Amino acid sequence: MTATPARVILICSGKGGVGKTTLTANLGIALARLGETTVVLDADFGLRNLDLLLGLENRIVYNAQDVLEETCRLEQALVKHKQEPNLSLLPAGNARMLDWLTSDDMKKIVGMVAERANFVLIDCPAGIETGFRNAAAAAREAIVITTPEMAAVRDADRVIGLLNTQGVAPVQMVLNRVRPKMVANQEMLGVNDVTDILALPLLGLVLEDEQVITSTNRGEPLTLNGSLSPAGRAYMNVARRLRGEEVPLIDPSRERRGLRARLMGKIRRTTGLF
Amino acid sequence: MAAALSIASDPHQPHLLTLPPPQEASSLLQEVRQALSLGAIQGSLNLICGDWRLRLPDLEALQSLLTQQGLTLVQLQADHPETRVAAASLGLHLGPNTGELQHPPKAAPTIPALTVHQGTLRSGEHLQADGSLLVLGDVNPGAQISAVGHVLVWGRLRGVAHAGRLGDDQATIVALQMRPLQLRIAGAVARGPDEVPAAGLCEEARLENGEIRIDPASPRWPLQGMPTQGLNVGSSPSAQ
């Protein structure tokens, strides 16, 4: 049990496929590595795959449904991560839970989990129906994740409106899958275009990174590695900012130049020519 | 002089039909038919009879005519005692005598109240006002606002705005930054301009010859003369 009340954070987007579960998994690992006791809760009962991304699929014995039905204790249902003992996962029950789960059930379970953690991350289902509403009812703050696409931004805007009416605050934003080259050529919405519409504090900026796909397939979130890829660094920074650290945001245009400059620097150093 | 029909802007309010003085008029039914031929209206109706002397058969004939038109006679304002007796026997609600009644000003339509909404309207939210609407905040893409009167946005208008929802073609749409997806005034619809307007230029859309025009906003505040009492401040829109 911890002294300070846990921070219960909803991770949602409205639109599907923008990176809710990936963010939840990576943020969970990152917070755990920073020494925070963290529980990630899969609220996507219909299409659960947070366990998959964390590589814990084959370790699940009990789930949230069993806890609610009191067929097991909460400790039995929580799956501890194999490398990061600070992180545990409360798996979603089967899809039939959708039929009977109420927001009170959700509050009950989050309340139980919150007693034994510093951070509770709720992986929200896509959409704005009951699944989202139940999850939002149990959360205190939220991170809205979106990509620089009109459809994703529009849906995120809708979700922010709903979160405001439900009294969830603060709501922060993570912008995912930014492609600096396309932004520079004005083929993609820029960071300013998105913050302009959503008017939320930017908690993080994640560049498009192919390693996310391989890490997802392997069930090893990027933040697990010691040497971090660009996206992994970005997730780590999100975790730091969540804890109140001041970490400057990366500048996507500088990031691109930075790559070339780094390369030139390497050549300069190794050849000693210039 | 013919019977004057004033159509209620609020669908829950009855329409008003005022008969001309009996000495200047032909028959009751003719007058009413003539007045109703001007526009197809439905709902409830208040009849202001003045000095007309109407008996039970007259009123019954009138009622059946109105029923055919889809109207219900709910109230009668009459000075003639016989008319009042006939109306009462039909179970009609009797209004005060015309002498006591303050005539609604015919030239100036009833001044609508102003609804003020504070806060940003986000995608999917839909705000409707019965009078004019003032939004203190942005209207984001995907959000929709509409008002019976004017629409004023003290912020960026990037969604859909509809002024004069019930057909007032004098209604205007004013925004500090006009970047709408779509504008509607009364029955006219226009796509928003493609180019992004200069920042800090307040613009105004109005209906001219059936087309919506956007110009730099006139320094005249469109709500001039509007009573400030009955100001109704809402903070959460009816999200749909």
Minimal Cα distance from B141: which residue of A? Answer: A154
* Full set of structural domains in chain A with CATH: 7-271 (3.40.50.300)
State the pLDDT at residue B206: 94
A137 in contact with B, Cβ within 8 Å: no
Q: B152 to chain A nearest CA, in Å?
A: 19
| Residue A157 pLDDT grade (very low, low, confident, very high; cuts 50, 70, 90) | very high
Sort out which chain A residues have CB atoms less than 8 A from B239's CB and list them. Answer: 161-162, 165
Q: Which of A40-44, A147-151, A155-159, B5-9 has the weakest average pLDDT?
A: B5-9
At B240, the pLDDT band (50, 70, 90 cuts) reads very low
B-chain residues near A164 (CB < 8 A): 122
Query: A268 — contact with chain B (CB < 8 Å)?
Result: no
Instruction: Over range B118-123, report the average pLDDT.
Output: 93
Which candidate from A154, A161, A199 shows the least CB-CB separation from B125? A161
How far B239 CA sits from the closest chain A CA (Å)?
9
User: Best of B139, B140, B145, B160 to disrupt the A interface by mutation (most A CBs within 10 Å)?
Assistant: B140
By the CB < 8 Å criterion, does A158 face chain B? Answer: yes
Instruction: Quote the pLDDT of residue B124.
Output: 87
Can you tell me the mean pLDDT for B116-127?
92
CATH topology for B114-234 is: Pectate Lyase C-like (2.160.20)
Task: For residue A154, give the nearest of B120, B138, B141 by CB distance.
Answer: B141
pLDDT tens-digit profile of A124-147? 999 999 999 999 999 999 999 999
Average pLDDT, chain A: 90
Residue A41 burial (C-beta neighbours within 10 Å; 0-12, 13-18, 19+) = buried
CB atoms within 10 A of CB B76: 24
Name the 3-class secondary structure at A214. helix
For B161-191, how does the pLDDT look when each residue is reduced to its tens digit (9 = 90+)? 999 999 999 999 999 999 999 999 999 999 8
Which among A235, A147, A245, A139 has a CA at the least distance from the CA of A190?
A147
Residues of A in contact with B138 (CB under 8 A): 199
Confidence of residue B230 (pLDDT cuts 50, 70, 90): very low
**How does pLDDT run across B37-79, given as a tens digit for each residue?**
766 677 888 888 888 888 878 888 888 888 888 888 888 788 8
The pLDDT of residue B231: 46
Identify the pLDDT of residue A261.
62
Of A154, A164, A165, the CB nearest to B123: A154
| Cβ within 8 Å, pair B158-A197 | yes
- Residue B12 predicted with pLDDT over 50: yes
Total Cβ atoms within 10 A of residue A163: 22
pLDDT of res. A226: 76
Q: Whole-number mean pLDDT of chain B?
A: 80
Contact B125 A154 (CB under 8 A): no
Of the candidate ranges A166-175, A195-204, A217-226, B190-199, the one whose mean pLDDT is the lowest: B190-199
Supply the pLDDT for residue B104. 46
List of chain A residues whose C-beta atoms are within 8 Å of the C-beta of residue B236:
165
pLDDT exceeds cutoff 50 at B141: yes
pLDDT-derived band at A17, boundaries 50, 70, 90: very high
Which residue of B118, B120, B122 to mutate against A (max A Cβ within 10 Å)?
Answer: B122
Q: Is the pLDDT of residue B3 over 80?
A: no
Cα B172 from Cα B205, distance rounded (Å): 6
Summarised one tens digit per residue, pLDDT across range B83-92 is 877 787 777 7
More confident of the two residues A265 and A87: A87
Judge contact between B149 and B163, C-beta under 8 A. yes
Interface test with B, best of A153, A197, A200 (most B CBs within 10 A): A197
d(CA B156, CA B112): 24
State the pLDDT at residue A263: 66
Q: Which of A183-197, B9-23, B30-44, B217-231 is the least confident region?
A: B217-231
State yes or no: pLDDT of B102 exceeds 80: no
Lowest-pLDDT range of A89-103, A153-167, B175-189 = A89-103
Helices (H), chain B: 28-36, 56-69, 81-89
Of A161, A164, A197, the CB nearest to B124: A161
The pLDDT value given to residue B214: 92
pLDDT band at B105 (very low <50, low <70, confident <90, very high): very low
Quote the ipTM score.
Answer: 0.70
Segment A68-82, tens digit of pLDDT: 999 999 999 999 999
- Percentage of chain B with pLDDT > 70? 82
Question: Which chain B residues have a beta carbon less than 8 Å from that of A155?
Answer: 123
Least Cα separation, residue A246 to chain B (angstroms): 28
Nearest CB among A158, A165, A199 relative to B120 is that of A199
Answer with the residue of higher pLDDT: B20 or B106.
B20
Chain A residues with CB inside 8 Å of B177's CB? none
At residue A274, the pLDDT reads 56
Cβ within 8 Å of residue A57, ≥6 positions away: A51, A219
Query: How many residues are listed for chain B in this entry?
Result: 240
Strand B173-178, strand B182-185: pairing: unpaired
Residues of A in contact with B121 (CB under 8 A): 161
How many Å apart are CA B229 and CA B227, to the nearest integer?
A: 6
A155, A160, A165 member nearest B239 (Cβ): A165
Q: Of the ranges A107-116, B140-149, B224-233, which one carries the lowest mean pLDDT score?
A: B224-233
* Residue type, position A110, single letter: V
- Contact residues for B41 (Cβ-Cβ < 8 A; gap 6+): B5, B7, B15, B69, B70, B71
Confidence class for position A189, pLDDT limits 50, 70, 90: very high
Query: Looking at residue B100, what is its pLDDT?
Result: 46
Radius of gyration of chain A (CA): 19
